Amino acid sequence: MGLSYNEYYNERTGLTVGLKKVLFSEDTPFQKVEVYETDTWGNLMTIDGMVMLSEKDEFVYHEMLTHVGMFAHPNPKKVLIIGGGDGGTAREVMRHPSVERVDMVEIDEAVVRASKEFMPEVGDWDNPKLNVIYENGLEFVKTPKGEYDVVIIDGSDPVGPAVDLFKKEFYQNCYDCLNENGILTAQTESPWVGHYHKSISDLFDVLDEVFEVSQMYLAFIPLYPTGMWSLAYASKGINPHSEEVIKRVEEGTTKWQSSLRYYNKDMHTGSFAIPNFVQDILKSK
Amino acid sequence: MGLSYNEYYNERTGLTVGLKKVLFSEDTPFQKVEVYETDTWGNLMTIDGMVMLSEKDEFVYHEMLTHVGMFAHPNPKKVLIIGGGDGGTAREVMRHPSVERVDMVEIDEAVVRASKEFMPEVGDWDNPKLNVIYENGLEFVKTPKGEYDVVIIDGSDPVGPAVDLFKKEFYQNCYDCLNENGILTAQTESPWVGHYHKSISDLFDVLDEVFEVSQMYLAFIPLYPTGMWSLAYASKGINPHSEEVIKRVEEGTTKWQSSLRYYNKDMHTGSFAIPNFVQDILKSK
pLDDT, tens digit, 9 for 90 and up, residues A68-120: 999 999 999 999 999 999 999 999 999 999 999 999 999 999 999 999 999 99
Using the Cα atoms of residue A66, residue B263, residue B191 and residue B45 in order, give the sign of their dihedral.
positive
Hey, which residues of A are catalytic here? 154
Strand, helix or coil for residue A104: strand
Q: What is residue B27's predicted lDDT score, i.e. its pLDDT?
A: 98
Lowest pLDDT segment from A147-151, A152-156, B216-220 = A152-156
pLDDT at res. A80:
98
Q: How far apart, in whole angstroms, are the C-alpha atoms of residue A114 and residue A101?
A: 24
**pLDDT surpasses 90 at A256:** no
- pLDDT for res B160: 64
What confidence score (pLDDT) does residue A258 get?
Answer: 78
Task: State the best of A216, A276, A277, A280 to mutate against chain B, taking most chain B CBs within 10 Å.
Answer: A276
Burial class (CB within 10 angstroms; exposed 0-12, middle 13-18, buried 19+) of B244: exposed
Rg (CA), chain A: 18
* CATH code of the domain occupying A58-283: 3.40.50.150
Give A12 to chain B, closest Cα distance, Å: 5
Q: For residues B124 and A110, give the distance between their C-alpha atoms in angstroms, rounded to a whole number.
A: 55
B78-83 and B101-106 strand pairing: parallel
Would residue B154 show up in a list of annotated catalytic residues for this protein? yes
Judge contact between B86 and B58, C-beta under 8 A.
Answer: yes
Report the CATH number of the A4-51 domain: 2.30.140.10
Which is catalytic among the residues B39, B154, B164, B208? B154
Are B15 and A16 in contact (CB < 8 Å)?
yes
Whether A159 has a pLDDT exceeding 80, the answer reads: no
Min distance A186 CA to chain B CA atoms (Å): 20
Q: Which portions of chain B are predicted below pLDDT 50?
A: none
| Chain B interface test: which of A3, A7, A16, A61 (most B C-beta within 10 Å) | A16
Contact B270, A220 (CB under 8 A): no
Domain regions of chain A by residue span: 4-51, 58-283
Of A39, A228, A275, which is closest to B12 when you measure between CB atoms? A39
Q: Which of B260, B262, B273 sits opposite A266 (nearest CB)?
A: B273
Closest chain B C-alpha to A206 CA, distance in angstroms:
24
Nearest CA in chain B to A278: B262
Residue of A12, A189, A263 to mutate when probing chain B, most B C-beta within 10 A: A12
Which among A187, A167, A153, A186 has a CA at the least distance from the CA of A51? Answer: A187
Q: Which of A275, A262, A228 is nearest to B224 (CA)?
A: A228
For A117-140, write each residue's pLDDT tens digit: 999 999 999 999 999 999 999 999
CB–CB of A272 and B262 under 8 A? no
The whole model's pTM is what?
0.96
Q: How many CA atoms lie within 13 A of B146 on its CB side?
A: 1
In CATH, the architecture of B4-50 is Roll (2.30)
